Each structure stands twice: as C-alpha cells, then as structure tokens.
Structure 1
Amino acid sequence: MVQSLNLAAVRSAFTLLSHPRLLVPHLAVADIRAIPFAALRTAGIKYLVFDKDNCLTAPYIDSLHPPFAAAWHSCKAQYPAENILLVSNSAGTPDDTDGEAALRVERALDVRVLRHREKKPACGAEILEALGARPAEVAVVGDRLMTDVALANLNGMYAVWTTEIVTEKGDNPVAAAVRRLEHYLYAFLRKRGVQPPPHAAAK
C-alpha cells in the first residue's frame, strides 16, 4: 500500500509548534510491554486507541510483533475487544483500497480498525463516535508525537508515547525522518520543562 501525504499533519503543524505542550505525552514508555494497563483502567481510562505501524507491528505488516504477544494478551485481559480501536494512517484510510488492509489487520489482531477520512491527528471526532466515548476516558498509544500524541492532546485524551520502534525497515522514509526529529524535539521540550495538557488520569 502506498501511503499518501498526511495533509492533516501538515495543516496542524503550526498549531502544534505554537502550543508545544500538545506534543508532550502524559506517559512515555519504551514499547507496549511497559504500559501499565491495569493502572490505566483504575485511573479511569475505559478505551484504548492504538497506532499500528511501529507500535504494534512492523511497518505495513499485518501481524503483531511477536515479542509483544504477552503484553497484547495483558491488554486484552484488562479491556474488552470492543473498547480497543486501532487507528492507522495507512490501514482504514482512503489509501486502503476497499479496506482490504484493515480487514487483514482485524483478523490478525482481533480488534477493530477505524475506517476514517481524516488522518491523524485530525480524526478525533471519528474515534469518539466509533467508541461512543468521552475524551477523558480514552488513551491513545503510538510512536509519533505529531500524529498520535498530538491526536490525544488536541482532543482531551490521555497520550502514551512508545519511544522505541519495531524497525525502520520498510517504513515510510518521510515518517522515519520526522520521527527522529521528534525525539530531539521531545528532549528539548522536556529540558525546557514543558508539560502536557492536564488530564485526570495523569499522576
């Protein structure tokens, strides 16, 4: 699948850079194995939204990254499948002809893939409608600051940033380059003491 230019991210760039706290996650972890799913549920997070590429799977691969199997099982032990939603900027978007990639991922991961018109970070309303949730009840998990973390913070959700990717092999080269810049940006913002927007689940 060829991933088109993410115009939503381009449009939001000025807003994000003008309000840098939108790029700061509430929780930064190496990968999903370090996410305290039970603690999130106790803190009031009822729904989980996951990025796919380099968060759950290798880029453009449908199946779960094998080392994440135990963590994925732990996640599903805390959250029913209907409360988990996968939101990709490839599968389930207009780039996904006839939704074939979304169907493959749903079969492989056994969770819903959002069919959405707008790419992250501009699909917050579509996510909330699909889940039937209030923003404060939703956590977004992903490896990108300008898409996943920004999506969460722009919509009053809880942002979880996975800092270590599965692999750059096969990744979108533009996304890979921007991701590397995001790590430098995060270090700069933290050094400046920039905090994420307040959230009830944040300690």
Structure 2
Amino acid sequence: MPLLANAPALRLALAYAIHDPASLLPHATIPNLVWLPIPVSSGLPTLPSGKKPTIRALVLDKDNTLCPPETSKLHPAYLAKLEKLKASPEFSHNHASILIVSNTAGSSPKPEHEEEAKHLEDELGIPVLRQQPDRKKPLCGPDVLAFFKEHGVTDNPAEIAFVGDRLATDMLVAREVGSWSYWCKEGWRNPEMPGRDYRNMFNKMEARFERLMRGGYGKVAPIPAAIAALGEK
C-alpha cells in the first residue's frame, strides 16, 4: 500500500523523521525474511545485563517481506522458514504467537483483502490481523497488542518483534507500541533470482535515510520503553 494513500501514517512518519528520526530505525537489519535468526532474540541487541530480550510473539509484514509486493505468492524457501519459526521454542507454545499484519491482506472489509487474508491463513496456519480501515500500520499497534493479549501470548510489548521492509510503517509501529524490530533491507527476494529488486521508490528513499541517520549522524533505534524503565539503558 503506497504511503501516500495512508495519510495519517505519512503525517506520523514525517513528524518522527523531523523530531525523532532514530525512532524510524530498526533494532536489527537482515537482507530478507529467510535470514531472520532463530531464535529471533539472538539477533537483537544484548542488554546491559548481558541478556538477550525475551521474545514470545512475532509480527510479520506481507508485501515485500513474506510475499512479492501486492501478491500472496508463497515461495518454498519462505514456507520452510515459517515452519522453522513456528516450531521454534519462542513461538511453538501458542498457535497465535505469530501474526501477519498487512496493509493489504485483512486491512479492510473489501472482498479482495478478506480473500487474501483467508488464503494466507489456510496456506500457512498463521492468523492475519483484521485491521480497522482508519488504523493501518503504523497506527494498528493497540490492535496488535490486544490480539496477543486476548490469545494468551503476551501482554508485554517488549516481548514482541516486528519484521518488515518499511521504516515508516513496520519499524514505526514497533516503536509506537514499545517493541523490537527487524528491517528486511532488501525486501522480498527470490532465492533463484536474488538480483530482482522489488523495492519501490519509498523503500529506496528509506534506505538512503537509514544510511544517513546511522552513518552520518550515528543514530540508533531507542530501546523499548518497558525495558528502559527497568534500567536497561
């Protein structure tokens, strides 16, 4: 979903970019979803206590993360990765511990969005969040938290990791709710044709922004608020 079609998200992202740009940065960067480490916590920053964060819930973006943009095509390499994640100790305790949150599938009552959500649920055995049309990413954080709480996964946002290809939606919603984030820098890639780039103009602008913030200004993503409150600064 183009950011320009999601005006509230655009306003929020611009406000952060001007006043608190570090909040748009990820806690960890991977080329694509296939590279997501297992356990997921192992790739996140080590806390001053010497421990890794505890992760009990995982939020996955769809377009250009799980599937090519604006499709629900599932590549065998990505299916295999999802099976490993589902079977891992972090997420095998609850069938609802992995959630797909998309600004297309399940993002509105439109038949095509509902059909896509049901297709993913049937194929993957992973639930898809049904979003309110006026609360798409990065505004859907409360709905994500409510889902995991209602399904007995966790009520602690610092035990959730978000994975996606967009700074202005996926990374920002993680920041908004106080969770961890993984950025798929290359977006979705076909392992048989890794040179094919599916990123759009916004992805490429964000990549330049990320390089500038990290390399030029030395910015890093802020630690989730709940952990910072415990003195893990």
Shorter-chain TM-score tier: 0.7 to 0.9
Note the alpha carbon deviations across 1:167-203, whole angstroms, 9 max, x for none.
6x9x7xxx82111100000000011110101145999
Select the structure with the greater relative contact order (CA < 8 A; seq sep ≥ 6): 1
Note the alpha carbon deviations across 1:114-156, whole angstroms, 9 max, x for none.
0011110000000000111321111000000000001101211
* Map of 1:37 onto structure 2: 38
Matched, 1:161 2:183: yes
Give secondary structure in 2 for the equivalent of 1:28. Answer: strand
In the comparison of the two structures, how many residue pairs are matched? Answer: 200
* Map of 1:112 onto structure 2: 127
User: How far apart are the structure 1 equivalents of 2:14 and 2:3?
Assistant: 22
Matched-pair identity in %: 33
User: How far apart are the structure 1 equivalents of 2:79 and 2:115?
Assistant: 24
**Residue 84 of structure 1, aligned match among 87, 98, 113:** 98
- Does the C-alpha gap of structure 1 residues 115 and 140 become closer, same or farther in structure 2, counting only changes over 3 Å? same
* Map of 2:221 onto structure 1: 196
Give secondary structure in 2 for the equivalent of 1:44. Answer: coil
Larger radius of gyration: 2
Q: Is the 8 A contact 1:29 1:35 kept in 2?
A: yes
1:65 Cα deviation from its structure 2 partner = 2.5
Q: Which has the higher helix share?
A: 1
Q: Is the 8 A contact 1:26 1:159 kept in 2?
A: yes
1:36 Cα deviation from its structure 2 partner = 1.7
* Map of 1:57 onto structure 2: 67
Q: Normalized against structure 2, the TM-score is what?
A: 0.77
Matched, 1:100 2:149: no
User: How far apart are the structure 2 equivalents of 1:181 and 1:4?
Assistant: 14
1:105 Cα deviation from its structure 2 partner = 1.4
- Does the C-alpha gap of structure 1 residues 3 and 12 become closer, same or farther in structure 2, counting only changes over 3 Å? closer
Give secondary structure in 1 for the equivalent of 2:96. Answer: helix
1:39 Cα deviation from its structure 2 partner = 4.8
Q: Is the 8 A contact 2:33 2:188 kept in 1?
A: no
* Map of 1:68 onto structure 2: 78
Q: Is the 8 A contact 1:140 1:148 kept in 2?
A: yes
1:2 Cα deviation from its structure 2 partner = 10
Q: Which stretches in structure 2 are left out of the alignment for 5+ residues? A: 43-51, 150-154, 190-195
User: How far apart are the structure 2 equivalents of 1:2 and 1:120?
Assistant: 12
1:125-136 paired onto structure 2 within 5 Å: 125-132=142-149, 133-136=155-158
Give secondary structure in 2 for the equivalent of 1:61. Answer: coil
Q: Is the 8 A contact 1:4 1:95 kept in 2?
A: no
Off by >3 Å, runs of 4+ in structure 1: 1-4, 199-203
RMSD (Å), alpha carbons: 2.9
The one-letter amino acid of 1:83's match is S
1:143-182 paired onto structure 2 within 5 Å: 143-166=165-188, 176-182=200-206
Q: Normalized against structure 1, the TM-score is what?
A: 0.87
